[in-house]
Amino acid sequence: MSLVKYIPFLLLIFIFLGCASQIESAPELIIPTPSQSIPVTPGIFSFKIASDGSGTWPALRDETDGSVQASTVKIESMQTDSVMENLKLLTSGKVDMAFGYDYHATLANEGKLAGVFPNAQPEKLNIKCGVEITRMPFPDYSQPVRIVTPLYEQPILIFTLSNSDIATLQDLRGRRVSIGLSGNVTEELAGYILKALEIQEKDFSRISLDVNESLSALKAGSVDAFFWSGNPAELAHMSTSGLILLPIRGTEAEAVMQVNPGIFHPSKLSSGSYSGLEVDLDTVAVTPALLTMADFPADKLLQVLAEIFENKRLFAEVFAGGDYSTLGNLSERLSPPAQRYMHEGTIAYFTNR
C-alpha cells in the first residue's frame, strides 16, 4: 500500500515533535546552599520590580523610587492591581523582583500557586516554529521562586466588641462577619482559616469591607466581627477602644496549619502592642517578602542587599527596630518551608557578612 498520501500527515507529526522538543521541561527543584564567596561586578545596573497597591507596599515602592538617585542600583517600579499580577510578571520573566508572601515561594516551588489564584486567566505562549500554546499562568510544576528578604510578620487578627458574647472563632457561626474586600489578601487568609475550622459561608453572614469600613461597621453594630491582616504597625493608628481580639491557638492553630500546609506559621502579638491588648495574643501569621527567581544574578543581589541592610536606603521604615543582622534572624521571619527558598545571594550575603 502506497504511503504517498500519508506524507503530509507524517511531515506535520515530524514538525510538531521537532518543535515540542524545544519546550522547556518542568524545572528541577534546587535548594540553595551557602556560597563561599561571590565577587561583585562593579558598575550601575537596573532591574524591574512589581508592586500592587495594597498594604504597605505602595510606600515601599515609593521609597525605593526616591532613595536610589545616588545609588549603583536603579529600580524601575511597575505598579499592578494585585499580588497575583506581581507573581505572573515575576514567573513569566517580565520583571526581576516582585512583592509577595513567603508562602508564595513555597507553593511556587511545589507547583501549587494555581490553587491560590483560581481566577487567573490563561496566557498564550509563542514557541519556536510558529506554534502557539495556551497555559495557565501558574502551572502545576515547580517554578523556582526565591526569597530576597522577608519584610515584616503579618498576623491574622479577628476583632470583635469587648461586650459581645463572641469568645472564640467558633462563635462566629450565625454572625455578621467582614472578611475583607474581594480579592484582598485578608479575604484569602480568612478563607483558609474558616475552611480549616469547618466554618462554611452558609454558617455566617459574609460582608466584604476594608479595614476602616469594618471598624466603623463594628462600632455601629452592623457587623459582629471582622478579619484583618496587615502591618501590625498600623494598629497604632487605629481607634481600638472597646474592642478585643480573638486568639487562634491550641487545636485551632494546629488545624489551620495542617489544613493549609506551608502558608501559616505561629505568631504572638505582644501585650501593649495597641491600647486594648492587655495580654499576649496567640495567632497565626504570614510574611510579606521581596521575591525573585533563582536565576537572578547572585552578585547583583549582593548590591541590592547592601542597599537594604547597609546603606539603609531601602525599606528603612519596615526594618526599623527589627534584628536583621544574621541569616538566623532573617529565617525566623519565614515559615519553616519557606526558609528553604532563600536566594543563594541572600544566603551568601549573610554567611560572609
Q: Examine residue 206 and state whether it is found in any structural domain, yes or no.
A: yes
Instruction: Tell me whether residue 39 is in a domain.
Output: yes
End-of-domain residue from the set 234, 261, 286: 286
Rounded-to-integer distance, Cα 73 and Cα 63, Å: 13
Average pLDDT over residues 272-276: 69
Residue 247 — very low, low, confident or very high, per pLDDT cuts 50/70/90?
very high
DSSP 110-121: TT-GGGT-TTPP
Q: Give yes or no: residues 49 and 137 share one domain.
A: yes
Q: How far apart are CA 190 and CA 231, in angstroms?
A: 16
On whether residue 67 sits in a domain, the answer given is yes
Residues 246 and 264 in one domain: yes
- 281 and 158 share a domain? yes
Q: How many domains does the chain have?
A: 2
The secondary structure element, H or E, covering residue 65 is helix 57-67
Domain assignment of residue 22, yes or no? no
Higher pLDDT, 26 or 42: 42
Strands (E), the chain: 45-51, 73-79, 97-101, 123-126, 132-135, 145-150, 154-161, 176-178, 205-207, 225-229, 243-245, 265-269, 281-286, 288-293
> What's the CATH number where 265 sits?
3.40.190.10
Average confidence score pLDDT of the chain: 79
Residue 1 within a domain:
no
Give me the pLDDT at residue 333, please.
83
Same domain, 274 and 303: no
Is residue 91 within 8 Å of 64, Cβ to Cβ?
Answer: no
CA 346 from chain centre, in angstroms, equals 18
Q: What is the mean pLDDT of residues 284-308?
A: 89
167 in the same domain as 144: no
Query: Which of the listed residues 233, 260, 286 is the one where a domain comes to its end?
Result: 286
Out of 236, 256, 286, pick the residue that ends a domain.
Answer: 286
* pLDDT score recorded for residue 320: 54
Instruction: Evaluate whether residue 247 is within a structural domain.
Output: yes
Side chain identity, residue 71: S
Confidence category of residue 230, pLDDT binned at 50, 70, 90: confident
What are the grid coordinates assigned to 176, written together? 455578621
Residues 169 and 282 in one domain: yes
Clarify whether residues 261 and 300 are in a common domain.
no
Specify if 11 maps to a domain: no
Of the pLDDT bands very low, low, confident and very high (cuts 50, 70, 90), residue 239 is: low
For residue 4, is pLDDT > 60?
A: no
Q: Does residue 264 sit in the same domain as residue 311?
A: no
Range of the domain at 83: 29-152+288-351
**AA identity, residue 214:** S
CA distance 298 to 304: 10
pLDDT digits (tens, 9 = 90+) for 144-190: 999 998 888 889 999 999 888 899 999 999 999 999 988 888 999 99
Q: Same domain, yes or no, for 273 and 344? A: no
Confidence (pLDDT) at 79: 86
Tens of pLDDT, residues 70-104: 466 777 888 888 888 999 999 999 999 999 999 99
Q: Grid coordinates in use for 153?
A: 510578620
Do residues 294 and 146 touch, judged by C-beta distance below 8 A?
Answer: yes
**Nearest-angstrom CA–CA distance, 108 and 106:** 6
- 132 and 183 together in one domain: no
- Poorest-pLDDT segment among 66-80, 171-185, 206-220, 252-266: 66-80
Assigned domain for 293 exists? yes
Q: Indicate if 39 and 105 belong to the same structural domain.
A: yes
Whole-prediction pTM: 0.80
What pLDDT score does 132 carry?
Answer: 67
**Strand, coil or helix: 83:** helix
- In this structure, are 146 and 213 located in the same domain? no
